[in-house]
Structures are given as C-alpha cells and as structure tokens.
Structure 1
C-alpha cells in the first residue's frame, strides 16, 4: 500500500497495474527478442570475408587474367564466373557500380592478397553487403590500370526476405504470448477460484467461503461475496427455525378443532368441519414444504438421472398408471437427485391429473440436458402459461385439494430447477396437451 493525500492509501496490487505491467513487459520482451534475432542474423549473415571462400579464388583468377591479353580479359572473366562468385573486368574505375559500404583493406586478409599478387603499390578495395541480400566484393587494380571485380552473395539464413520477416513476427508474437500467459495467470487463477466458489454456493448453501486471493479489486469482490453468502446462510437458518415454530403452532389448534368436531352431533356439519380442517392442514403442509424446501439444501452429487426417471415410471406403473419413457438407459449427472425427482414427480402428477398419455423424454444437445414431461389434454391458455408458476395461483376457482391443489407445486418445481442453473417452461402441444420442458446445464454423459 502507498500513502497519498491525507491518511488515505492506494493499493499496489491492482488489476489496472497488472494490465499495464503486462503490456509493458510484453513490449520489452518483444524488443529484446527482436534485438537478439538481429544480432544473431548479423553474425550469421555477415561473416568475415576470409570465411566466405572468396580470397583463394580471387588470388588464382587474378593471376590468370593479369597474365592474359587485355582484349581477352572481358571474355575470360565471364567464363570463370560461377553462380556463387561473379567476376567482371573494367577498363575504368568509374564504370564500376560501387555498393554503399566500401572499406580500405587491412589486416591479414589484405596482406594475403597483396603478397600473393605482388601488388604493394596498387589499389585494393573491399566492400560488404549493406543488408543480408547484398554481396561481398573485392576490387583489384591490375598492372595496366584496369580493374577486376569479384563478388559473392552473403549468407542470408537460406531464406528470402519474406520468410525472415515472418520469423521476426513469430518471435515477437511468441514472446508476447509467453509474457501475457504468465502475467494473466495472476489474474485468471483467483477469478477461476471465485467462479468455482460461486458455483459451489449455488448448489450447496453450506459451502465454505471463498479464499480472498489475487489483486485488490478481485479480493474486494470475493470479500463482498463471502459477506453476502454469510448473510444468506444466516437468513436460511433463521427462516428454517421460524417455519418449524410456525408449523408446530398452527398444527396444534387444528388438532384441537378436529377433536372438538368429534362432539358435534350434526353429522353433515361435522363432515364439513373435518373437510375444512383437512384442507387447512394440507395448505399448511404445502406452504411449509414450499418455504422450507429441504430439496434446496440437498448437497449436489453424481447420480444416474436415467435410472431416477425410470424409477419414477416404475412407481406409477405399480399404481396402475402407464407412463412412457424415452431416453438412454444410463446418464450420469451432477446435481441434486431429490430435487429433480420432486420436480419431475410434480410435473407427472399434473400430467396425470389434467391430461392423459403422460410420458417422459430425456435427451441432450451440445450444451444442455433436456427433460420433457408431456401429456395429451386440454392444455393451458397462452396467457396463463407463466402465471401458473406464481405462488398460490390456480387455474381452478375451486379450493378442493383433490382438484385444484393449493397452487405451490409449479412454483417449487421452478425454484428447484433455477437453483440448479436450469429453466422450466410450459408450452401447448400440437394436437392438444401440454409440454413441461426442463433445461439443465450439461454436466454429464452416457
């Protein structure tokens, strides 16, 4: 932390600084690799003249041409020229097209040429390539004042200019990528841990807090998430305790009402009272089950979803109700089996109660798992396809539990699916009937 202003601090380890340092280090590394490549290219592409193999040929060819007649030297120079060394004869120095870099010979190379040709009083010039595509050259003045030019190509890595530039670009990109990957791991790792912690909390309310690591902004986000997680856990705990107390307090007077009803002599009135008490008891049980919803606190685990659905089908078959199932015989999925069994069971109950030919279809695409619960029946009006998911909303005006329920089943089913990262929607089938589509994130396979 660094101090600035009056009693205020600015964190050093921030995302902004890491991004700036990453860009700076990538640029410096790219420049360093480029400089290293140019240096190596200079050593390889421009070796000393003695290493080109040109000196030995110069000495032998110069002796032959100087011993020949002047009128034959031009033809002889063309004859002795080779692809890797060119020889040209000029009567005037000014006719020679000189390169940009011309050197006066000195050292062992120049002494060797002068000594071999016995030319201590004559001019000798050498030149080196200005770039890797240029040529080495030697100019020798003969005894009659004419000139011989010897030139050979410099080494250029065996590549043309285009491939060499491509090598430089690749080196720059590689160096930038290496620096970027190393630097961004500092940012990516805490973000990945944060995301894993958030997903873990989404499927398990009892998940531990996320460790605050990484740059300042990420640590602040993790601390805020941990505080929110602690508040939600505290809220859920308090709500569970409160609902347990409400359950006890409401059931006690209902039990007394039923006991007192036993003393009513009018049998018709007694049955009406018992029906009202039973309906109130059912409503209380449904409401408490919805708000408490132990399925939402269930820990996620790997299980065979296809076997779970097949078990539901077998349970209904034992009750004399045929439910068709289409899908794989085995499908491993990571989620909450109790919650998904409750969702599909609720949808099947509705399909059996309000329609016919109930069936389940299990399939998947590349990203999602699809569970379809469908039936043949009257369907639902288009303007009510979303409203039926509202708590206590019922299509029937009757409050008879045997027909209309209390209007919490679909609300609880959608809540369970949403908490597993999926969606639950209803749509009318062509030809009559309803389709309940459960979409879940793809987390398993056959």
Structure 2
C-alpha cells in the first residue's frame, strides 16, 4: 500500500521511518527473547551464579548443620521439593554414588564454599554421565563439621546456560530481529529510490520518457516532483528550440529562391556562377539543418534490439556497393535504445571512413556496464587540436574534409547529439600508422 501524506496527520518522512524502524527492532528483539524464554525451558534460565540455587543450598546446609542430629533427616525432607531432593546421611558409606576418578567439586563458580559456615568440608559433585545406565542425575555431596553428609540431587538440570553462551544467544536474537525489521523497513525506502533512479536513466535514453510517479516518504516524493518539473521544462525547451530553428531554416528558402531568380539577370557569367555557388551552398546547409531538426530518429521510442545484427545489416548494404567493411565482435548483442538513431550514427561514421580513408572496419565490445562501438579507417586522420571542433555545427576542414568532397558540417554534430541522448559519448583517436578511430561509448540501460 502506498503511503501518502494526509493533511492533519503525521507526515511520512524518512526521519519518521528511521525512528519507527528502531522502535520496531527493539520491540521485536524483546518479543524474540520472551519467546526464547517460553520455548527453551531450563536453557533460558539465568546461569547458576544468578539462579539463587547456590545460596539456597548453602542456607539449607547451614540450617541442618546447626540442628540436632536427630532432627536433620526431618529437616532435609522438609527442605526438599520436586526439583531439588535433600537427604542427610550419618556416614559417607551410606550414600550410593558412582565411583569416579576425581569427584571433588573443584569449579566453585557459584561461591558455595564462601557461603558455608564451615568451608573446609569435603564437597563432591556428580553429573548424569557419571552414573551407569540412563537414570543419571546431578548430585552434590557436602561434608558437615561432625563428618555427616548432605546430598543434594536433581534428576534434570535446574540451571541455565553460562553467561557467555547465554549472551551470545541474546545477541543473536537481537541481530535477527534487527535484520528482519531492517529488511522490511528499508524496502519501503529502497523501492521509491530504485524507481527514481530507473526513471532518471530512462530520461537519459529517451527525453520523451513519462514522468516518474511520486511515491515513498515525503523527502523522496519532493525529489521526484522536482525531477519531473525539470524533465518537463527540458522537454518544452527542446521542443520550442527545434520548432524555432526549423522555422528559421524553412523561412530562409524564400529569399534564397529570389536571389537565384535575380542572379539570372546578371550578365557577367563568372559573377553569376559565383552567386549560384553561394546560393547552392546555403541551400544545402538549410536542407541539412532541416533534416537535422526534423530527424525522425530522435522521435522514435527506445526499445530492445540486436545491435550486432544492425551493424551486420549496414555491412551487408555496403557490400552490395562493392565496399568491404571488416567486423570484429559478438554475433548477437541485445541493447536497449533507439535503433534508427544508432543506425544513422553508424552510417555517418562509416561514410566518413569510406570517403576520407580506406580499409573501413567496425569493432564491437560489450561488458556489464557499457557497449563500445569503434569505426576505424586508414587515412589522414584529424589533428588532435581539432578533435572537439569537428563536432561543432557547420565546421569543416579545408584539407581532407572540405566542401567539394561533400557535407556541410552537420554529420558529426548530429551523430554525437544522438549518442548523448543515449547517455553515451563519442571519442576520436588517431591511429598509429595513419587513420582515425571513432569510438561510441553507450551505457548499458537496465530497464
């Protein structure tokens, strides 16, 4: 269910969610601990030093030792309960216990000797594994001052774990409850953030992408709304700019036509040809600008397609024109983008490689983060200081790439614009031995 802010109610903020998560983790930890105490039985009880059993044994021992010998058996019987049995014996030989190598009670973790009035008496301790057969029990023998003996026995363990293991269990329960609550609570925060990132990536690929639905806590919704407003402004700006430039280019055709008609009346043939040449050049630039601004490839929807197959199709088209283009790369590569736009980019780069160089080739490399397409040729290359200028509109080199060899300087500008709309970049490198390498780097879109 999507949480939305209601007027007058508590605001759904990240700070509120963090506080609720902390509170829920604490309550869940307490619930787990209570469940552990209920289900684990004696193992969930406090350690021997905290159970009060040692103090009880010491009190019973001191009480019986202070009584008359004739009353000790009766007092031991009264002190017994279903958990702890107490018996008094006049002689050690009257007590039936298993024979062990060293039954003396040496690990006095509960401080039993310090609690006894006569701490120098002999103490023996036995556990179920010391007894033959399945009916073993816990037993504690304490020698009194008159050499009589008290036997404390229990059929089952009546104290819990030691402090170390018990603390580990409690810490484990706290961690388990915290992880469970954190997974549930962070999912509430992570989902709108993931959707926000996905929408931002889609806008990087397709500037006509729909706005992102504002969901999640208040801060995330505000960030999404701000992004949607920015996206709408950019879309409006791009649309207005394209329409304005296309209208200017279209309106320029009329005065150019009049100039050509008036040029027919110029008697000087040389001046007339110069005028016609300038008019034709301006007309070509206007037509190229119109094609650029009305590019249908920039209006197509982004979709998944086989990029390797698209490149093979281009190579086959040039092969039909008796132009061989070498290819290096996988036979199949699915990519999410605009196939018509990328086909126009690669066609432009291949045309340049064929027109201004030789031995055209394509390299396709991909990994989990990006796709790299390189168009190579053997030719004069481009001076390093011009590597950025060649992307400027209407920029043309006067030597190898001049006006007479075709183009008005919009090809690389249009190509890079399409690549940038995909969230990628285009780089130029001069090859060793002559030639140019133009690489298109495209991010892998996880849509």
TM-score strictly above 0.5:
yes
Assess if the C-alpha contact under 8 Å between 1:286 and 1:408 holds in 2: yes
Q: How does 1:217-228 map to 2 (within 5 A)?
A: 217-228=219-230
Cα distance, 1:358 vs structure 2:
0.7
Cα distance, 1:284 vs structure 2:
1.5
In structure 2, what is the Cα distance between the partners aligned to 1:405 and 1:441? 29
Q: Deviations over 1:291-327 (max 9, x none)?
A: 4444332210122211211121122223332211222
Cα distance, 1:405 vs structure 2:
3.4
Q: Cα RMSD (Å) of the superposition?
A: 4.1
Assess if the C-alpha contact under 8 Å between 2:206 and 2:422 holds in 1: no
Match of 1:439 among 418, 438, 441: 441
In structure 1, what is the Cα distance between the partners aligned to 2:14 and 2:377? 54
Residue matched to 2:148: 146
Q: 1:139 to 1:190 in 2, by over 3 A?
A: same
Residue matched to 1:110: none
Assess if the C-alpha contact under 8 Å between 2:305 and 2:334 holds in 1: yes
Assess if the C-alpha contact under 8 Å between 1:298 and 1:336 holds in 2: yes
| TM-score normalized with structure 2 length | 0.73
Cα distance, 1:431 vs structure 2:
2.1
Assess if the C-alpha contact under 8 Å between 1:197 and 1:209 holds in 2: yes
Q: Which runs of 5+ in 1 are unaligned?
A: 4-8, 90-94, 103-126, 128-134
Q: Which runs of 5+ in 2 are unaligned?
A: 47-52, 54-79, 114-124, 126-136
In structure 2, what is the Cα distance between the partners aligned to 1:306 and 1:431? 28
Q: Secondary structure at the match of 1:281?
A: helix
Q: Deviations over 1:4-40 (max 9, x none)?
A: xxxxx99722122222322332233234434543564
Q: 1:21 to 1:259 in 2, by over 3 A?
A: same
Residue matched to 2:203: 201
In structure 1, what is the Cα distance between the partners aligned to 2:324 and 2:40? 80
Q: How does 1:172-251 map to 2 (within 5 A)?
A: 172-251=174-253
Question: Bigger relative contact order, structure 1 or 2, given CA contacts below 8 A and separation 6+?
Answer: 2
**2:412 aligned with 1:392:** no
In structure 1, what is the Cα distance between the partners aligned to 2:324 and 2:408? 26
Q: Secondary structure at the match of 1:363?
A: strand
Q: 1:97 to 1:313 in 2, by over 3 A?
A: closer
In structure 1, what is the Cα distance between the partners aligned to 2:159 and 2:110? 18
Q: Deviations over 1:326-372 (max 9, x none)?
A: 22222222110111111111111221222211101112123211111
Decide which moves more: 260-269 or 316-325. 260-269
Cα distance, 1:280 vs structure 2:
0.6
In structure 2, what is the Cα distance between the partners aligned to 1:326 and 1:369? 13
Q: 1:259 to 1:155 in 2, by over 3 A?
A: farther
Alignment coverage as a number of residue pairs: 388
